[in-house]
Structure 1
Amino acid sequence: MRKKILSALLLITVLFGQLSIVSIGSSMDETIADMEAQEAETKEKISDLEKQTKETQDAINELNEQKQQTQNNVSSLQDQKSDLQDTVDDYSDKLDTLSAEIADTESAMAEVSAQIVELNAKLQETEALRKERYESLKKRMQMIYERGGEESLLMILFDAKSLKDFLTLYEYINDVVVYDQTKIAEYQALVDSIAAQVAEIELKEAELNEYQASLDEKHGELADLTDTVMGQLSSTNSALSSERSKLDDYEKQLSELDEKMKSLESQTAAAQAELAKQIAERLALTKEDTSGSYAASASELEWLAATIQAEAGGESYTGKLAVGSVIMNRVKSSAFPNDIVSVITQNMQFASYRSGKVELIIANGPNSTCIQAAQEVLDGARVGDYLFFMTQYWADYYGISEYTMIGNHAFFYRWVTNKKSDGGGSSEESAPGDPAPQEAAPAENPPEEAQPEQAQPEETTPPDAAPPEEAPQETPPEDSGGDAGSE
């Protein structure tokens, strides 16, 4: 009977134990599911912030292009304005020259006009003399005509009483005829001379008038050109003012977008830090197995070898294996992407990829040592279960409390910081990929001279500057958060 009772009690105890285990396991699953749901919400928020950041950056780039084009327009308009001003000045000089020529012409015309007036006065006197002589000649001709004309003069010769008388009368008649002819010739010459002078003056005056008309035409043409250029100059000044106003507007918009970008970066950093904490809390509940081989393509092998060379090309072979181990541990971890290229190119992770060094090495081909190290890791070789690495300086700066030095890099699994660290870290444990929670970020950039020297800096990526006061320098990506520790 006692045995039956003991057996029953034992059975009841086992049943209750199993029920407790099932209950605990169920509770754990629910907790992890809730954590993953929170992580998904945070990732979605980060994704939306990154989308806004990209849109803002695109807007900044577009505005910068428009600003550059406007600056080019301003420069072109300033050159055009200078050319137009030179043209206006040149036209002004020509107008001054023409004005002087016109003044000289007007003076010459005034002199000619005075000469014409004087000649007209003389002409009037000559005309009066002509009329007087004309009347005299008219009367003489009338008298001669009344006496029978020239024949009557000849009749006088018949009145001669002697040869001497005849010769005297003949000489008298001859003198009269010569006198009359001379006076008529003088009269005709005077009339012809006056007519010639008047014609010459009229010709000269016509030439002066023609020259004046030509000068007036040129003056008018230059005046029109000046007005045209002045209009172009005014239009250019107006366009220049408009373009400069655009520049001021672009500057204002760019300033606003810069402020928006800073705000988005701050919000993204805060969300990434929150995601890091969420992942840290979830990973703290379990220990993932990241060992094992990986069937990589030729392209993945090349990417892995190139990243190893970019991060640890100057390190020992063990250091190369350690960098490869971090990458493959991440591939195997649920907190990171599950393929090599996605891990390496994950946002805000490997600085050597962000700088373009990895792709440059791929273009030239990784060296054989790094290819061998990559293949070893792919075949399952691991140097620890590390998910992060950075230089010892930065590990101490951030206050990482547990790390292992391999070559020039500090390797660790979880980001556990010390409250007393120089970097302002706390004793909280951060998730893989998060360099430090937001509140653990240092307030100022550490001095450049304080950074430790690298054994071979040409082969390793130098650390980024320390993060700003409001957010950690290395911000976590959508899937996990945090830098690979290439710094």
Structure 2
Amino acid sequence: MRHRQRIYRILSISVSVCLLIMCFLNQYSGVRHYSVYAEGNGDTRKEYEDEKTTAKAYEHTAELLSDEIKKINRKIAETTLAIENLTGEINVMDTEIEEAENLYYEYEDRVIIEKEKLNQVVSLMYETGAGSDEIAVILQSDDILKVLDRGEYLRDINDYYNDKISEYDDIVAEALEQESMLNNLRLEREEEIVTLEKKKEEMSAEIKELGSLMKEAQEKAEDAKELSNALAKKVAEMEAAERAALAARKYDGSGSNVDYSGNGTNYYYEDPYPYTPDELLLMAGIIEAEAGSVSYPGMVAVGSVVMNRVNSPDFGNTIAGVVYAPYQFEPAETGRLAMILAEGPADSCMGVAKEVLDGKRNVPNLYFKADWYAEEHGISGVNIGGNVFH
């Protein structure tokens, strides 16, 4: 019982550490998916990306260790079950051995009793005759009837003796069989005990390995948390620089036909962009990656930001140059955009991409953030389809 309670305590601790690691990772995940489009200098962006890469590496290590901890927990659970099964089998064998011992001792007692009976029969045979020769016994009698009766009696005694000898032999054989069975059960029990001890040693090693992994995983999770805090601070600094740059350029929509208090359904038009099929596909892909394929105003707004950058001297003058610029659109860096392009963007995104390339717009901005991120960091703007454009 104490051994089982110790196992349960260890499993409980390991589960707690796994939950702690997942909490660290979940907290960190709120930072690692930022799409940061800051005006900061190259050094600031490089520092941000370096910290982001390091934090991801620590997170990945912690996740792997968490997986290993789960595997070892499963192994410990399996070993614990095996130990319980072996213990149960040994208990059953102990009962069988006890029953076999009782039966063996019973046969031993019967052998003694039957042996005593045989001795009594032999004594009786000698006591009923004057000699060892049956003929001499008969000759001593004067009455022929008495002779016949005496001969019949001696034959009965002899038959009884033979029956008792046979019974005795059977009981001895059964006793020997029970003794052999008892010895086999004892041998099997010893083998089961050896197996049980090996399982206990395996579990001890697994628990030791679990403790080591739990310690390492906790350290990595704490490192990831520390780096995520530093990353959040860096993001906040870049956001402040971005807001300052936007304020200096007065990107408030005052010179456009867009109502910033609306929901992005006030559209205006720019000159069409002479696009290629590949550029249409890329535009549709980045729209789906950043805005999804449901909110029409949200899709148009993301496409508008891309084209606003194409037309801005501060960014690349092609769609590919804007989308694949370093440290800009995160889906382009993480591979999500590539997956969408490989599978083919949604039809709705293809349709919106064509309209945007033909000149349709609904925001004049160069930047946007996820609404939850904008709310947490005090970034104001217009929320269209789950993104805040500012």
2:355 aligned to 351, 373, 389, which one? 373
Q: Match for residue 219 of structure 2?
A: 256
1:339 aligned to 321, 337, 340, which one? 321
Q: Superposed, which structure 2 residues align to 1:321-400 within 5 Å?
A: 321-331=300-310, 332=312, 334=314, 339-342=321-324, 346=328, 362-366=344-348, 369-377=351-359, 385-389=364-368, 398-400=377-379
- Comparing 268-277 with 69-78, greater Cα deviation is found at 268-277
Residue deviations 1:332-371 (CA, integer Å, cap 9, x gap): 5646896354269946589xx9799977994432356513
Change in Cα spacing, 1:130 to 1:306, as seen in structure 2 (3 Å) is: closer
- Aligned partner of 1:215: which letter? Q
- Comparing 69-78 with 277-286, greater Cα deviation is found at 277-286
TM-fit CA distance, 1:254:
2.2
TM-fit CA distance, 1:121:
2.1
Q: Distance in 2 between matches of 1:110 and 1:124?
A: 21
Residue deviations 1:87-133 (CA, integer Å, cap 9, x gap): 22322332233233223322322221220221232233245544798
Q: Distance in 1 between matches of 2:134 and 2:374?
A: 135
- Aligned partner of 1:339: which letter? G
- Aligned partner of 1:329: which letter? N
- Aligned partner of 1:373: which letter? E
Q: Is the 8 A contact 1:95 1:219 kept in 2?
A: yes
- Partner SS for 1:339: helix
Q: Distance in 2 between matches of 1:397 and 1:270?
A: 13
- Percentage identity across paired residues of the two chains: 17
- Aligned partner of 2:304: which letter? S
Q: Match for residue 30 of structure 2?
A: none
TM-fit CA distance, 1:230:
2.5
TM-fit CA distance, 1:213:
0.6
Q: Match for residue 48 of structure 1?
A: 50
Q: Match for residue 62 of structure 1?
A: 64
Q: Distance in 2 between matches of 1:237 and 1:347?
A: 54
- Partner SS for 2:348: coil
Q: Match for residue 298 of structure 1?
A: 277
Q: Is the 8 A contact 2:52 2:231 kept in 1?
A: yes
TM-fit CA distance, 1:287:
11
- Aligned partner of 1:71: which letter? N
Q: Distance in 1 between matches of 2:95 and 2:107?
A: 18
Change in Cα spacing, 1:114 to 1:333, as seen in structure 2 (3 Å) is: farther
- Aligned partner of 1:70: which letter? I
1:229 aligned to 186, 189, 192, which one? 192
Q: Is the 8 A contact 2:130 2:137 kept in 1?
A: no
- Partner SS for 1:105: helix
Q: Distance in 2 between matches of 1:346 and 1:277?
A: 17
Q: Match for residue 233 of structure 2?
A: 270
Gapped runs of 5+ residues in structure 1? 1-37, 141-177, 410-459, 464-484
- Partner SS for 1:366: helix
Q: Match for residue 424 of structure 1?
A: none
Q: Distance in 2 between matches of 1:72 and 1:392?
A: 40
Q: Distance in 2 between matches of 1:395 and 1:61?
A: 28
Q: What is the TM-score with the length of structure 2 in the denominator?
A: 0.64
Q: Match for residue 208 of structure 1?
A: 171
- Comparing 75-84 with 360-369, greater Cα deviation is found at 360-369
Residue deviations 1:450-472 (CA, integer Å, cap 9, x gap): xxxxxxxxxx23x6xxxxxxxxx
- Partner SS for 1:205: helix
1:79 aligned to 81, 91, 95, which one? 81
Q: What is the TM-score with the length of structure 1 in the denominator?
A: 0.53
Q: Distance in 2 between matches of 1:247 and 1:282?
A: 51
Give the greater-gyration-radius structure (CA).
1
1:97 aligned to 81, 99, 102, which one? 99
Q: Is the 8 A contact 2:272 2:358 kept in 1?
A: no
Q: Distance in 1 between matches of 2:202 and 2:284?
A: 57
- Aligned partner of 1:67: which letter? I
TM-fit CA distance, 1:387:
1.3
Residue deviations 1:179-218 (CA, integer Å, cap 9, x gap): 4988887787676555544443332222111100100111
Q: Is the 8 A contact 2:129 2:137 kept in 1?
A: no
Work out whether 1:243 is the aligned partner of 2:225.
no
Gapped runs of 5+ residues in structure 2? 1-39, 252-269
- Comparing 121-130 with 211-220, greater Cα deviation is found at 121-130
Change in Cα spacing, 1:218 to 1:201, as seen in structure 2 (3 Å) is: same
RMSD, aligned CA: 4.8
Change in Cα spacing, 1:385 to 1:306, as seen in structure 2 (3 Å) is: same
- Aligned partner of 1:124: which letter? Y
- Aligned partner of 1:388: which letter? Y
Q: How many corresponding residue pairs?
A: 326
Q: Match for residue 171 of structure 1?
A: none
- Partner SS for 1:386: coil
TM-fit CA distance, 1:324:
1.9
